Homo-oligomer: A and B are copies of this chain.
Amino acid sequence: MREAFHDQLDAIFVDLATMCGQVETAVNRATASLMSGDAAIAEEVISADRAIDANRERVEDNAFALLSLQQPVAGDLRVVVSALRMVSELERMGDLSVHVAKIARLRVPNIAVPESIQDTVVKMAETAEDMVRRVKAIIADRDVEAAIELGRDDEVMDQLRRKSFAELLGDDWQHGVEAAVDIALLGRYYERIADHAVSVANRVIFVVTGEQVSRADR
Protein backbone atom coordinates (compact mmCIF):
# COMPACT_ATOMS: atom_id res chain seq x y z
CA MET A 1 0.00 0.00 0.00
CA ARG A 2 2.69 2.47 1.01
CA GLU A 3 4.69 1.62 -2.06
CA ALA A 4 1.70 2.13 -4.35
CA PHE A 5 1.12 5.48 -2.63
CA HIS A 6 4.67 6.64 -3.28
CA ASP A 7 4.66 5.45 -6.88
CA GLN A 8 1.48 7.38 -7.58
CA LEU A 9 2.82 10.41 -5.76
CA ASP A 10 6.00 10.26 -7.84
CA ALA A 11 3.89 10.20 -11.01
CA ILE A 12 2.08 13.34 -9.82
CA PHE A 13 5.39 15.10 -9.24
CA VAL A 14 6.57 14.14 -12.73
CA ASP A 15 3.42 15.80 -14.11
CA LEU A 16 3.99 18.87 -11.95
CA ALA A 17 7.53 19.23 -13.30
CA THR A 18 6.16 18.89 -16.85
CA MET A 19 3.60 21.61 -16.16
CA CYS A 20 6.34 23.81 -14.76
CA GLY A 21 8.26 23.32 -18.02
CA GLN A 22 5.17 24.50 -19.93
CA VAL A 23 5.00 27.57 -17.69
CA GLU A 24 8.69 28.26 -18.33
CA THR A 25 7.97 28.26 -22.08
CA ALA A 26 4.93 30.49 -21.53
CA VAL A 27 6.98 33.07 -19.63
CA ASN A 28 9.74 32.93 -22.23
CA ARG A 29 7.42 33.32 -25.22
CA ALA A 30 5.28 35.98 -23.53
CA THR A 31 8.42 38.05 -22.99
CA ALA A 32 9.48 37.41 -26.59
CA SER A 33 6.12 38.73 -27.84
CA LEU A 34 6.41 41.72 -25.53
CA MET A 35 9.87 42.69 -26.69
CA SER A 36 9.24 42.08 -30.39
CA GLY A 37 5.64 43.27 -30.71
CA ASP A 38 4.95 40.06 -32.63
CA ALA A 39 1.25 39.23 -32.43
CA ALA A 40 1.76 35.64 -33.63
CA ILE A 41 3.97 34.83 -30.65
CA ALA A 42 1.44 36.43 -28.28
CA GLU A 43 -1.37 34.31 -29.80
CA GLU A 44 0.79 31.22 -29.39
CA VAL A 45 1.16 31.88 -25.64
CA ILE A 46 -2.57 32.47 -25.29
CA SER A 47 -3.43 29.22 -27.15
CA ALA A 48 -0.80 27.15 -25.35
CA ASP A 49 -2.41 28.00 -22.00
CA ARG A 50 -5.08 25.41 -22.78
CA ALA A 51 -2.49 22.65 -22.54
CA ILE A 52 -1.47 23.91 -19.09
CA ASP A 53 -5.12 23.93 -17.99
CA ALA A 54 -5.56 20.39 -19.34
CA ASN A 55 -2.55 19.23 -17.36
CA ARG A 56 -3.96 20.86 -14.26
CA GLU A 57 -7.13 18.78 -14.62
CA ARG A 58 -5.09 15.62 -15.14
CA VAL A 59 -2.95 16.21 -12.04
CA GLU A 60 -6.03 17.07 -9.99
CA ASP A 61 -7.82 13.91 -11.10
CA ASN A 62 -4.77 11.81 -10.22
CA ALA A 63 -4.39 13.48 -6.84
CA PHE A 64 -8.07 12.88 -6.02
CA ALA A 65 -7.76 9.26 -7.15
CA LEU A 66 -4.74 8.89 -4.86
CA LEU A 67 -6.63 10.40 -1.94
CA SER A 68 -9.68 8.20 -2.53
CA LEU A 69 -7.87 4.92 -3.15
CA GLN A 70 -4.97 5.18 -0.70
CA GLN A 71 -6.71 7.17 2.05
CA PRO A 72 -3.51 8.74 3.28
CA VAL A 73 -3.50 10.35 6.75
CA ALA A 74 -1.39 12.93 8.58
CA GLY A 75 1.80 13.79 6.69
CA ASP A 76 0.95 11.87 3.52
CA LEU A 77 -2.40 13.58 3.32
CA ARG A 78 -0.79 17.02 3.59
CA VAL A 79 1.67 16.10 0.86
CA VAL A 80 -1.12 15.28 -1.59
CA VAL A 81 -2.98 18.47 -0.69
CA SER A 82 0.30 20.37 -1.25
CA ALA A 83 0.47 18.87 -4.72
CA LEU A 84 -3.07 20.13 -5.37
CA ARG A 85 -1.97 23.60 -4.30
CA MET A 86 1.15 23.48 -6.44
CA VAL A 87 -0.95 22.63 -9.47
CA SER A 88 -3.22 25.64 -8.83
CA GLU A 89 -0.21 27.92 -8.55
CA LEU A 90 1.38 26.60 -11.73
CA GLU A 91 -1.87 27.14 -13.60
CA ARG A 92 -2.01 30.69 -12.24
CA MET A 93 1.57 31.32 -13.43
CA GLY A 94 0.38 30.28 -16.89
CA ASP A 95 -2.50 32.76 -16.66
CA LEU A 96 -0.11 35.54 -15.67
CA SER A 97 2.05 34.77 -18.73
CA VAL A 98 -1.11 35.12 -20.82
CA HIS A 99 -1.66 38.55 -19.25
CA VAL A 100 1.84 39.58 -20.37
CA ALA A 101 1.13 38.30 -23.88
CA LYS A 102 -2.17 40.20 -23.98
CA ILE A 103 -0.43 43.50 -23.17
CA ALA A 104 2.01 42.73 -26.00
CA ARG A 105 -0.90 42.01 -28.36
CA LEU A 106 -2.74 45.17 -27.36
CA ARG A 107 0.14 47.37 -28.55
CA VAL A 108 0.98 45.55 -31.84
CA PRO A 109 2.57 46.71 -34.16
CA ASN A 110 4.23 48.84 -31.49
CA ILE A 111 6.27 47.53 -28.60
CA ALA A 112 4.65 48.15 -25.24
CA VAL A 113 7.95 48.72 -23.45
CA PRO A 114 9.83 51.95 -24.34
CA GLU A 115 13.54 51.51 -25.02
CA SER A 116 14.71 53.44 -21.98
CA ILE A 117 13.10 50.93 -19.61
CA GLN A 118 13.57 47.74 -21.67
CA ASP A 119 16.65 46.76 -19.72
CA THR A 120 14.76 46.73 -16.41
CA VAL A 121 11.71 44.92 -17.83
CA VAL A 122 13.90 42.30 -19.53
CA LYS A 123 15.68 41.72 -16.21
CA MET A 124 12.32 41.23 -14.45
CA ALA A 125 11.24 38.81 -17.18
CA GLU A 126 14.52 36.90 -17.04
CA THR A 127 14.38 36.72 -13.25
CA ALA A 128 10.85 35.31 -13.39
CA GLU A 129 11.78 32.81 -16.10
CA ASP A 130 14.92 31.76 -14.25
CA MET A 131 12.91 31.18 -11.07
CA VAL A 132 10.38 29.04 -12.97
CA ARG A 133 13.22 27.02 -14.54
CA ARG A 134 14.76 26.44 -11.11
CA VAL A 135 11.40 25.41 -9.65
CA LYS A 136 11.03 22.82 -12.38
CA ALA A 137 14.31 21.19 -11.25
CA ILE A 138 13.34 21.64 -7.58
CA ILE A 139 10.11 19.71 -8.19
CA ALA A 140 11.80 17.02 -10.29
CA ASP A 141 14.65 16.46 -7.81
CA ARG A 142 12.76 17.32 -4.59
CA ASP A 143 15.75 19.61 -3.99
CA VAL A 144 15.31 21.31 -0.61
CA GLU A 145 18.62 23.20 -0.73
CA ALA A 146 17.78 24.75 -4.09
CA ALA A 147 14.28 25.60 -2.81
CA ILE A 148 15.71 27.45 0.19
CA GLU A 149 18.09 29.33 -2.10
CA LEU A 150 15.21 30.34 -4.40
CA GLY A 151 13.39 31.92 -1.48
CA ARG A 152 16.45 34.03 -0.73
CA ASP A 153 16.84 35.25 -4.33
CA ASP A 154 13.30 36.58 -4.42
CA GLU A 155 14.69 39.93 -3.24
CA VAL A 156 16.08 40.52 -6.76
CA MET A 157 12.56 40.88 -8.15
CA ASP A 158 11.60 43.37 -5.44
CA GLN A 159 14.62 45.51 -6.31
CA LEU A 160 13.80 45.42 -10.02
CA ARG A 161 10.21 46.36 -9.35
CA ARG A 162 11.32 49.33 -7.23
CA LYS A 163 13.78 50.35 -9.96
CA SER A 164 11.00 50.25 -12.57
CA PHE A 165 8.79 52.50 -10.43
CA ALA A 166 11.67 54.95 -9.94
CA GLU A 167 12.06 55.14 -13.72
CA LEU A 168 8.33 55.49 -14.42
CA LEU A 169 7.83 58.17 -11.82
CA GLY A 170 11.10 60.03 -12.45
CA ASP A 171 11.32 63.42 -14.16
CA ASP A 172 13.00 61.82 -17.16
CA TRP A 173 9.98 59.71 -18.09
CA GLN A 174 8.83 60.89 -21.52
CA HIS A 175 6.67 58.01 -22.67
CA GLY A 176 3.36 59.10 -21.23
CA VAL A 177 0.69 57.44 -19.18
CA GLU A 178 -0.14 54.45 -21.36
CA ALA A 179 3.38 53.02 -21.38
CA ALA A 180 3.71 53.67 -17.63
CA VAL A 181 0.48 51.81 -16.87
CA ASP A 182 1.61 48.91 -19.09
CA ILE A 183 4.97 48.70 -17.28
CA ALA A 184 3.34 48.86 -13.83
CA LEU A 185 0.99 45.99 -14.71
CA LEU A 186 3.73 43.96 -16.42
CA GLY A 187 5.87 44.39 -13.31
CA ARG A 188 2.99 43.16 -11.20
CA TYR A 189 2.54 40.06 -13.41
CA TYR A 190 6.22 39.12 -13.40
CA GLU A 191 6.37 39.72 -9.65
CA ARG A 192 3.39 37.43 -9.09
CA ILE A 193 4.99 34.72 -11.24
CA ALA A 194 8.09 34.98 -9.02
CA ASP A 195 5.95 34.92 -5.85
CA HIS A 196 4.22 31.75 -6.99
CA ALA A 197 7.59 30.19 -7.91
CA VAL A 198 8.80 30.77 -4.35
CA SER A 199 5.56 29.45 -2.96
CA VAL A 200 5.80 26.25 -5.05
CA ALA A 201 9.43 25.81 -3.93
CA ASN A 202 8.33 26.21 -0.31
CA ARG A 203 5.72 23.49 -0.82
CA VAL A 204 8.47 21.18 -2.07
CA ILE A 205 10.36 21.89 1.19
CA PHE A 206 7.22 20.93 3.07
CA VAL A 207 6.68 17.78 1.01
CA VAL A 208 10.23 16.58 1.70
CA THR A 209 10.79 17.77 5.28
CA GLY A 210 7.30 18.20 6.72
CA GLU A 211 8.27 21.75 7.73
CA GLN A 212 6.02 24.64 6.74
CA VAL A 213 7.85 27.64 5.32
CA SER A 214 5.97 30.84 5.99
CA ARG A 215 6.65 34.04 4.18
CA ALA A 216 5.21 37.51 3.91
CA ASP A 217 2.16 37.78 1.68
CA ARG A 218 2.31 39.74 -1.54
Contacts and interface: CB of A to CB of B under 8 A. Distances in A.
A209 interface: no
B64 A68 contact: no
Contact of A88 (B85, B95, B173): B85
A173 B184 contact: no
A71 interface: yes
Interface in A66-102: 67-68, 71, 73-74, 77-78, 81, 84-85, 88, 91, 95, 98
Contacts of A49: 217
Interface string A151-189: 000000000000001001100010011101100110010
A188 B177 CA distance: 16
A217 B184 contact: no
Interface in A167-218: 168-169, 173, 176-178, 180-181, 184-185, 188, 217-218
Q: Which of A68, A77, A169, A177 has the most CB of B within 10 A?
A: A177
A177 B168 contact: yes
A42 to B, nearest CB: 16
A64 B84 contact: no
A169 B71 CA distance: 55
Contacts of A181: 165, 168-169, 180-181, 184
Interface of A: 49, 53, 64, 67-68, 71, 73-74, 77-78, 81, 84-85, 88, 91, 95, 98, 165, 168-169, 173, 176-178, 180-181, 184-185, 188, 217-218
Nearest 3 A/B pairs, CB to CB: A181-B184, A95-B217, A177-B180
